[in-house]
Structure 1
Amino acid sequence: MQSHFIGGTQRSVLDLPIQHREVVRNGGERCLNMNGSYAVGQMYAMEYRLARPRSSLPVLLWHGGGMTGAQWESTPDGRQGWLWQLLQAGHDVVVCDAVERGRAGWAMFPEIYAEAPVFRSAQEAWRLFRIGHDAPSGYGAPFAGQRFPSESFGELVKQMVPRWLGHEAMASAAYDALLEQFGPCVVMGHSQGGGFAAHAACRKPEWVRAVVGLEPTGMPALHDGPHPAATVAHLAVWGDHFAHSPQWQTYRGQTDAYWQALALAGGRADVLDLPAAGVPGNSHFCMLDTNGDEVLKRVLDWLEDLTQ
């Protein structure tokens, strides 16, 4: 196990007023001068290497919007996360906190970041992650057959972090540096992370052997003619309850169009629609749902098929 800080650059901040503040409790005031250089745009990665991996390709786990790599480590109700199950299945794994998330850290604004971050409330998450019905309080009943452990929803809310809009280029540069360090690899991305994975396969197809998009969003622009990612196998995994979310119907339609473009360009673009496959009830977070083990097994079977 080894941690890394990947990518980033130095930015300087000048002309901030010098403050006199108590920094150490009961230590009295001291001069606080925040002018100087700062590291910006780096991401955090925790590398897990097995003594005898079954595959030569590490699996890179990229989290969703407003989340961190913690979503892969354990579930809100205390079960083992996909990180550990992937290791047990014989894969080396790298878990990431993207730029300005979690242990990657973030920078002051507006001096370095142009704007303040955006935040996701628990009520928005309940609705957007397709956990349950709307209600005046924001929490209606969970959807029938819901696989997310809704009684532990509050534990998921504790994981959510602020994020900045318009940082795609900065985040993509760090992801590229990550791929150059750990590729060739399999990238398993959830939601926004799945979109970043699809873009990375276009920019760095030599480093990405497969993309597993777990309800991926934010696809690259459609291409005419040869597709830069047509040599990379893609799998999209979709949960349930889309009828309750017009927003997710739009997101999914955009991804479906991109997957179809990959297939027309001669690429392998597979879809695992869980309800259609006889596995109903999943939320936006299939890796946290109570049947997450079953979903991962299907993904691992797909990855195994790539090597045969």
Structure 2
Amino acid sequence: MKLRKLVTFFVAVSVMMFSVVAYGADDSLKIKDIGSFYVGGHEIVLEGLPAYDAVFTEGGPVRKVDPNGSFETGQMYVQYVQLKNAKAKYPVLLWHGGGLTGNTWETKADGNPGWQMFFLKAGHNVYVSDAVERGRSSWSRYPEIYKSEPIFRTKKESWESFRIGPTYDDDPSKRISHPGVLFPAESFDQFMKSAVPRWITNNQATQEAYDQLVQKVGPAVIVVHSQSGAFGARAALNAPDKVKAVVLIEPSGAPDPAKENLALLKNIPHLYIWGDNVDKYPTWPKYYANVARYRDALIENGVPVTWIDLPKIGIKGNSHMLMMDKNSDQIAEIIQKWLESQNLMK
């Protein structure tokens, strides 16, 4: 593989290491509309389940609950903020990772503004979604509708797998962070309040909802994180006329390149960004290698690819949650400058 074809983008990034431009610093965001909608989903009918009695409010009457009937399942919630004078050609769609919701992008765990605000100030209309089964998208009965039980990520697993530190303890004073880690460890417990259950049998419904979102909103730029990396990559394959760029923040999966017509993506630039300490965990090198295999296949098929390992260009200490790290605006600016370099602004 001739990786010299890989677009490095390092010159511009090196400049940004020393200063961060305050997009929209005059605090004069002019909003045209704020709203939400649902995409995806279908009706399902449940039958033969036993009814039961329940009291819904303190002091309320006993009511009969009949769980049989028609329900909606597989829907996805999307919130949008549209600017009066957007500077970007296309809206930015922000897709979160596993066991999380769109809250990932709204406000950081330490209370500072998240990437939703950053990209609004940079001139983009922004769409933040809660994937199928997450947050305001709601979830459905198990095992009648969902075929696997919910999985809940523990605080210990999150501390370690999100590469915040090697040692978790329920006593915050005994937790050990990686040297120089930029995730605000003092805000970790607050961050974990945003964790939600996930299911391993809903990938098809989730992909269908994301694809419908692209059809409804596109053309658009997709920014994905972790689990949604595979959904974003496939969304581009499913709608190469609507997806104008894909930004992948530490994607944990990718389609099998041997089964895809990657030449469809030759006009869709891809940006990959990776944080620090990937090599210190048994799972992350496997994720990294799998995604790198997909990257190499993209390059072979003439797809413009930019691959940034932040530590290799002197930006060290980023966790898996780059959009919540203390230098998250610096990372967002790298993305913004890349979008500008791809002629995706007006």
Relative to the length of structure 1, the TM-score reads 0.97
In 1, are the aligned partners of 2:159 and 2:168 still within 8 Å (CA)? no
1:207 is displaced (CA, Å) by 1.1
Match of 2:44 in 1: 11
Stretch deviating more after TM superposition (60-69 or 108-117): 108-117
Q: Is the 1:190–1:214 Cα contact (8 Å) retained in structure 2?
A: yes
d(CA) in 2 for partners of 1:217 and 1:136? 26
Superposed, 1:152-191 pairs within 5 Å as 152-191=187-226
Candidates 271, 278, 301, aligned match of 1:265: 301
Q: Where does structure 1 lack aligned partners over 5 or more consecutive residues? A: none
**Distance in 1, Cα, partners of 2:135 & 2:148:** 18
Q: 1:225 to 1:158 in 2, by over 3 A?
A: closer
Q: How has the CA–CA distance of structure 1 residues 80 and 42 changed in structure 2, closer, same or farther, with 3 Å as cutoff? A: same
> Match for 1:206 among 232, 237, 241?
241
CA drift at 1:224: 7.2
Q: Which residue of 2 aligns with 1:89?
A: 122
The letter of the residue matching 1:294 is: Q
Amino acid at match of 1:99: V
Deviates more, 1:241-250 or 1:255-264: 241-250
Q: Paired residue for 1:279?
A: 315
Residues 83, 125 of structure 2: 8 Å contact kept: yes
- For residues 74 and 24 of structure 1, the distance between their equivalents in structure 2, rounded to whole angstroms, comes to 33
Pick from 237, 241, 247: which aligns with 2:283?
247
The question of whether the paired residues in 2 share the 8 Å contact of 1:195 and 1:213 is answered with no
Q: Indicate the larger mover: 170-179 or 241-250.
A: 241-250
Partner residue of 2:155?
122
Of 115, 126, 138, the residue aligned with 1:105 is 138
- Let me know the Cα RMSD of the aligned residues: 1.5
Correspondence for 2:177 among 142, 150, 161: 142
Distance 1:242 1:161 in 2: 24
Q: Does 2:78 correspond to 1:42?
A: no
Unaligned runs of 5+ in 2: 1-33
SS of residue in 2 equivalent to 1:87: helix
CA drift at 1:134: 2.8
1:140 CA drift (Å): 4.0
Cα distance in structure 1, aligned partners of 2:240 and 2:150: 32
Counterpart amino acid of residue 73 in structure 1: E
> Given that residues 167 and 177 in structure 2 are in contact (C-alpha distance below 8 angstroms), is that contact kept between their aligned partners in structure 1?
no
Count of matched residue pairs: 308
- 1:237 paired with 2:270, answer no
Q: Which has the higher contact order (CA 8 A, sep 6+)?
A: 2
Give the letter for the 2:61 counterpart.
G
Which amino acid in structure 1 is aligned with residue 274 of structure 2?
Answer: W
| Alignment correspondent of 2:186 | 151
Q: What is the CA–CA distance in structure 2 between the aligned matches of 1:33 and 1:166, rounded to whole Å?
A: 26
Instruction: Report the equivalent of 2:14.
Output: none
Offset of residue 226 of structure 1: 4.8
TM-score with structure 2 length normalisation?
A: 0.86
CA distance in 2, matches of 1:127, 1:298: 26
Residue 28 to residue 67, structure 1, CA distance change in 2 (3 Å): same
Distance 2:158 2:142 in 1: 25
Secondary structure of the corresponding residue to residue 313 of structure 2 = coil
Deviation at 1:24, TM superposition (A): 2.4
Residue number among 71, 77, 83 corresponding to 2:104 in the alignment: 71
Question: CA offsets per residue over residues 97-155 of structure 1, 9 Å max, x none?
Answer: 00000000000111111121111000000010000013576974100010000111001
Relative to structure 2, which stretch is displaced further, 224-233 or 83-92?
224-233
